[in-house]
Structure 1
């Protein structure tokens, strides 16, 4: 540039322009996303079933409906009051039912996916002592792009209706 005054002015203004861009990005999120929810996702029938043997993992079951306009892929879960949580599925392998960590769970627009005994579920490890029958835990499902959807699950004793 031939005029150093213009160059200095552009340098002085550029942080303001970048700040304005950042502010615009921050205000584009929906209120649902700000509250730990993904727009269009509805969770029903959520419950954590305690293990029959203390110290073993618990399981969380629920129904997830996607009323949004695009497919979501849920990869991970977090549960308050636990050491860790994993999304699991039960599949047929070599003629046997085998349970293990699931690949991303796709929930297509307009569909409902059940997390139920004998199928998909969230396996919860190292439950805290304060997690007991009648209490609730907060569950956060994590979708691709680190989108998070949180909901409460009622804690049930082992053997209660699943």
Structure 2
């Protein structure tokens, strides 16, 4: 004789319901859950953020910083916004047709342990149409936009070109 085929179909949901009910009644979690700060992504750490103004007023500025990621979930940076700018774009300097050229960067993947330097002559955020509000000594909010729409905000100090090791295009000046 074969067992009743309907019995296992009802047993699994019943066991699941009892397990969920017991879990809900078990009280608070053992360790407190740390709530992420609004506008940030858990695991992303930004150090040395700075927006460097161009030598010629009206020319694009650039944002540089160091990023470390220790989160468990794989992410990718796909865009950026800068408060006080007409537009911003994640750029990278790469070789094309045997020449070093600056262009919009491909999405930048982040996995646990990733460290990325946004620096002159490499990855950086190009800041187009910087407003007069972006004055040396002030700060601005930089927002990294991740694939899927999550955002990570941080403050960057606004500096004159001479206050940083190189200009927005990577030229030593």
Per the normalisation by structure 2, the TM-score is 0.74
- Any stretches of 5+ residues in structure 2 without a counterpart? 1-33, 166-173
Question: Which one has a larger percent helix, Structure 1 or Structure 2?
Answer: 1
**Could you say what secondary structure the match of 1:159 adopts?**
helix
CA apart distance, 1:31 = 3.0
Distance between the aligned counterparts of 2:88 and 2:132, measured in 1? Answer: 16
Does residue 31 in structure 1 map to residue 35 in structure 2? yes
Does the Cα contact within 8 Å between 2:52 and 2:164 map onto a contact in 1?
no
- Who is 2:44 aligned against? 41
Aligned length: 133
- Who is 2:149 aligned against? 146
Runs of 4+ in 1 over 3 A off after TM superposition: none
Backbone CA RMSD of aligned residues: 1.4
**Could you say what secondary structure the match of 1:145 adopts?**
coil
- Who is 2:117 aligned against? 114
Does residue 159 in structure 1 map to residue 162 in structure 2? yes
Greater Rg by CA: 2
